[in-house]
Structure 1
Amino acid sequence: MQFSSLPSSICQLTSLSTLCLDYCKLGDNITIIGELKSLEILSLSESDIRFLPKEIGQLVMLKLLDVSHCAKLKTISDGVLSSLPRLEELYMGGTSIHWRQRSATLADLHALSRLSTLEVQIPDAKAAPHDFFHELQKLKRYKIFIGEEWEWERFRKYQYSGTLKLRLTTGMDDLDLGIKKLLKKTEDLHLGELKGVKIALQELTDEKSIPYLKNLHIQNGFDTEYIINDEYEFPQLQSLTLHDLPKLISFCAQHETGATSSLPQHELPLFNEKISFPYLENLWLKSINVTRVWHNQLSSSSFSTYQKLTTLKIEVCGSLKHLFSFSMAKCLVHLTNFEIIGCYCLREIIFMAEIEQEAQATMTLSLFPRLKSLELKGLTHLIGFCSDYQTQVIEFSTLKSLRIYNCPELEGFIYRSSMKANQCFSNHVLFDNKVSFPSLERVWARDLEKLKMIWENPFPPNSFPKLRVISITKLSSLKYIWKNGPKDIFSFKNLHQIHVGFCKSLKNVFPASVARDLPQLSDLAIFNCGVEEIVSKVEEGLDSETTVTFELDKLSYLRLWWLQECKCFYPGRHTTKWPMLKEVTAAECGEMKIFGTQLITHNQQLDSQPPLFVVEKVIPKLQRLQIGADYIAMISGGQLPNNLFHQIKAFRVEGNCAKLVNDFQISFLERFYNLEELCISVCEIKELFYTEGDTGNKGTYDRTLSTIRKIELTAS
């Protein structure tokens, strides 16, 4: 809402207690608000005011003042804040107020004896008077940001009663000693750019714990080597974030004893036995140079301090070589989300060599019993999540989502190790009989250059019964997703979506046993692959004259693109059924026959390959059709009924620069009664529309043109 100025009649609202002008364009003249002596709540949040006039100081009954997110607000008239004796809540976050420059000062807040809630942003720590933090001990709720570039949250959230963010480019000298008292009450602490500070918390507290701290976030500490100086407790800490601390050696600075006493400084673990996080739920480490997070030989009581951890994210820790021992992994019983990204030196996630004797006796090892999501990205030396140990199966009983990207050395999810030669060897299979995922629903795999196969038969019992989504791209050595074996018992009945792309060595996508049993599949895309057939032939020994039927009853979206080596859908006698197809993309599919008519198909020899689609059965149900220009002549032939294309709303023709096709006759569009989108690329077309004097069914053609909303013509 926009006001050139507030109306003078507003003064008549003598009993008005609440006035909210949020998001309004008020201009510079809001002095008239000072006449509303009964106001208790005044909110100007996200308005365009540039200064708060002295008249606002007349609102002596005011209990709440909100000027948060007034991005243009730079000046508060001197004495305004100290003139509001009943003020209890003051919100000034997200503003550009210049404290100490012909304006109100932060010392004015000392006069507000009833103030219990404060949100304020202080770009320069020097603007805070020497006793500023000491006077804020009375606050029950606060958000205080000191230093530039802290981003103020747009929506007010009160996850924590006390939030303190400090970015001190000149060090700690500009803060008064009251900060230590305020810190005792703080639940949410952010530290950034603590110039010259080697031990982050040493100058902020004299205590052995911060009793109420729930979230600790330390970032951009380019001089920081340690977080604390001695044994320390964080009795309520739930979230810990350490970002961009390139000189960080360890969390605790005291001389190491016990398991870590013999380690050189550059091999010290980030966390040792001196640190206690009994309630830690979230841990995020980014751009720190430690070689290990935990020591492999910590006591079981030390590991148990992390057992409430639910989210773990480790990102761009380029020196990290060791993550979990088996003992540590076994303690993380509440972990639900795990991401590890860009840790270039890491070769395995779990080190299995010291597995306990009692675990050795079991046939199945269950790890992370509540893990839902696992992401492994940019781990350029990773060879596996862990090694197989003897004959055991490792089970991830609750995992639903798995992403593995850009791990070029990956040998397999579980890689095989040779104890005799002390070397690793692998079949380069992502999932073999050493790992079980009874709850897995989604798998994404990309840029895994060594893998030759995704699934190898046989699986452990109940391994992938809930799998819904498979996405496989840029696996340059991949030959098989599934491969027929002597016991061809693959079963993926719950699959809904399969996308496979840029796998140049891939021979086929499905064995026949899988393709014949996909009752839920609705989305299939295969593009830029070297497949010679979509479905491989059934195993040896079956009657070669038997006709195989592929019933894809729920398939709605099929995309086959740039499969230049493809010869057929299936190399034997077969039939296909696609009753629910709505969208088809087919182009550059090699020798595979895509379209055929009922007459041609009926007259084919029994041993010849049928087309993928009989146009009379498939096209009438389609809503979107995208084809290569090579297929235009086939489907635009005069022998086909005119009503085949009535349901199609989007039609796209893709040509090929290497072989221009000029068979496209624009009169073919007469058959598209409901066409809304027309896209033609790299095709020779003499004209797109009829010109005067043309013959043909002009009325029908005009009707087609009237429905088109989008036309796209591209030359390349």
Structure 2
Amino acid sequence: MNLRKLHWDFHSRPILLQVVFPKLETLELSSLDSEEILLQNQHRASSSFKLTNIQTDSRFQNLCKLKLKGSGNLKYLLSSSTARFMVQLKYLDIEECKVMEEILLTEDLGEEEIISKVLFPRLEGLILKDLPVLKRFCVGSNIRFPSLKDMWLERCPKLKSFIFKPVSSGFTLSKELKEMNSGVISHTAMQPLFNEEVAFPSLETLTIFHMEKLKIIWHDQLAEYSFLKLQSLLVQYCENLVNIFQSNMLTKFQSLKRLYVYDCGSLQEVFELQRHNVRESHVVIAIPLKRLILQRLPKMKHVWNKDPQGIFSFQNLQKISVWECESLKSLFPASVARCLMQLEDLLIVNCGVEEIVSREDVAEPAARFVFPKVTVLVLSQLPKLKWFCRGVHTSKWPLLKELIVWM
């Protein structure tokens, strides 16, 4: 059968398929309430969805797009053995699956069956949305998604670690996973979303929405080459996040140009620099960030929790917009303000700032701040604002065209 696109809307009808579509490129499944679909070993896969049979090696080798939307009974999407043969898959979209716990299921929980190395070598887009009990993508170690460019994670409240690597091996692995899933052990409670077991060398955009229980995004030791091409990061409605970046991992994000953080009720700072150890090389690392937008962060006290002078430079910033951050006391450390040669727009609205630029030593000689490209400056609804910068200082705005000050 030379079928290239297939869409099934099951509408609660139980289904068991044993068909082969060797030319199939697009598969879309919706309203799926069957417990077993396309199964090879039905007695082993209760409440799971496995695209697998004796012809696995040729069955889905041309599949480019797989979309599943709406399922009340499926706990797993694919078997790990089937996933190995999906070498053409470019887009994977999974939404509204009420009981899905894991995307890839390892058939046998022996040490040799843990997924490893390259996974979906051509996958470019991944969407995981409205999966209320999803715990992880899979169990594995040293996994690479070499071509993934865009990732969207939304409303996956129990997704704590994208890839879970158990500490056990052999027959004890099954027991450890069962205990973790049932909550008997909690050693994964503080695990970062992305750890050293997964690498995204080509990822360009990352969106994280409504992950209310997420506490840590990145591990302090990421996989080599992971996130080096990340250009845009959007984080919204992550109520337990305390910060976005720790300084010991900032060097990884050498392509980051756009950062948007909205509606994170516990966030205290964007860049946490306290744990950074200054090396003897004294090389200042330039962060490529151009656009920084922060909105509705009620507990954020600092964007940078200390002055990154001599460590990091944010000299590429072009647009900064901070809205409704009532706990924010100041916006820039002095060294950041001195380097904003590319800044064009600066907007601060409805915040608790007392000063725009903070200086650790106000007794030092007069400070000088120049903003040669700023054309728009908005200072609105800042009832606590006392000064631009404490102490003696000068500031120059040679191209300023629009100034809005509304207290």
Provide the TM-score with structure 2 as the length reference: 0.79
Aligned to 2:342: 580
The answer for unaligned runs of 5 or more in structure 2 is 42-51, 168-172, 181-185, 278-283
Q: CA deviation at 1:394?
A: 1.3
Contact 1:378 1:406 in 2 (8 A): yes
Aligned to 2:45: none
Indicate which of 223, 241, 246 corresponds to 2:11. Answer: 246
The answer for unaligned runs of 5 or more in structure 1 is 1-234, 251-269, 539-545, 656-660, 662-716
| 2:307 is the counterpart of 1:535 | no
Contact 2:353 2:382 in 1 (8 A): no
Partners of 1:573 and 1:584 in 2: how far apart?
17
List per-residue Cα deviations over 1:19-56 (Å, max 9, x = no partner): xxxxxxxxxxxxxxxxxxxxxxxxxxxxxxxxxxxxxx
| 2:397 is the counterpart of 1:648 | no
Matches within 5 A, 1:469-508: 469-484=232-247, 490-508=251-269
Aligned to 2:158: 409
**Whose strand proportion is higher, 1 or 2?**
2
List per-residue Cα deviations over 1:241-277 (Å, max 9, x = no partner): 113x314221xxxxxxxxxxxxxxxxxxx43xx3010
List per-residue Cα deviations over 1:400-419 (Å, max 9, x = no partner): 00000111121121245574
Is the radius of gyration larger for structure 1 or structure 2? 1
Q: CA deviation at 1:606?
A: 4.2
Matches within 5 A, 1:66-465: 235-243=1-9, 245-250=10-15, 270-271=16-17, 274-295=18-39, 297=41, 298-302=52-56, 304-354=58-108, 364-387=116-139, 389=140, 392-415=141-164, 417=166, 419=173, 420-421=175-176, 422-424=178-180, 425=186, 426=188, 427-465=190-228
Secondary structure in 2 aligned to 1:423?
A: helix
**1:522 aligned partner, one-letter code:** K
Partners of 1:282 and 1:550 in 2: how far apart?
46
Secondary structure in 1 aligned to 2:6?
A: strand
Note the aligned Cα RMSD (angstroms).
3.6
**1:342 aligned partner, one-letter code:** E
Q: CA deviation at 1:507?
A: 2.6
List per-residue Cα deviations over 1:50-88 (Å, max 9, x = no partner): xxxxxxxxxxxxxxxxxxxxxxxxxxxxxxxxxxxxxxx
User: In 2 relative to 1, CA 584–572 (structure 1 residues): closer, same or farther, beyond 3 Å?
Assistant: closer
User: In 2 relative to 1, CA 292–385 (structure 1 residues): closer, same or farther, beyond 3 Å?
Assistant: farther
Partners of 2:399 and 2:337 in 1: how far apart?
26
Alignment: residue pair count: 370
Contact 2:319 2:345 in 1 (8 A): yes
Q: CA deviation at 1:359?
A: 6.0
User: In 2 relative to 1, CA 451–626 (structure 1 residues): closer, same or farther, beyond 3 Å?
Assistant: same
Aligned to 2:376: 624
**Whose helix proportion is higher, 1 or 2?**
1
Contact 2:70 2:95 in 1 (8 A): yes
Matches within 5 A, 1:28-43: none
Contact 1:550 1:577 in 2 (8 A): no
Contact 1:318 1:344 in 2 (8 A): yes
Contact 1:436 1:462 in 2 (8 A): yes
User: In 2 relative to 1, CA 547–331 (structure 1 residues): closer, same or farther, beyond 3 Å?
Assistant: closer
Q: CA deviation at 1:589?
A: 3.6
Q: CA deviation at 1:523?
A: 0.6
User: In 2 relative to 1, CA 337–573 (structure 1 residues): closer, same or farther, beyond 3 Å?
Assistant: closer
User: In 2 relative to 1, CA 622–396 (structure 1 residues): closer, same or farther, beyond 3 Å?
Assistant: same
Partners of 2:231 and 2:266 in 1: how far apart?
25
Aligned to 1:553: 315
Secondary structure in 1 aligned to 2:382?
A: helix
| 2:360 is the counterpart of 1:594 | no
Contact 1:386 1:414 in 2 (8 A): yes
Secondary structure in 2 aligned to 1:509?
A: strand
Identical pairs, percent? 26
**1:306 aligned partner, one-letter code:** F
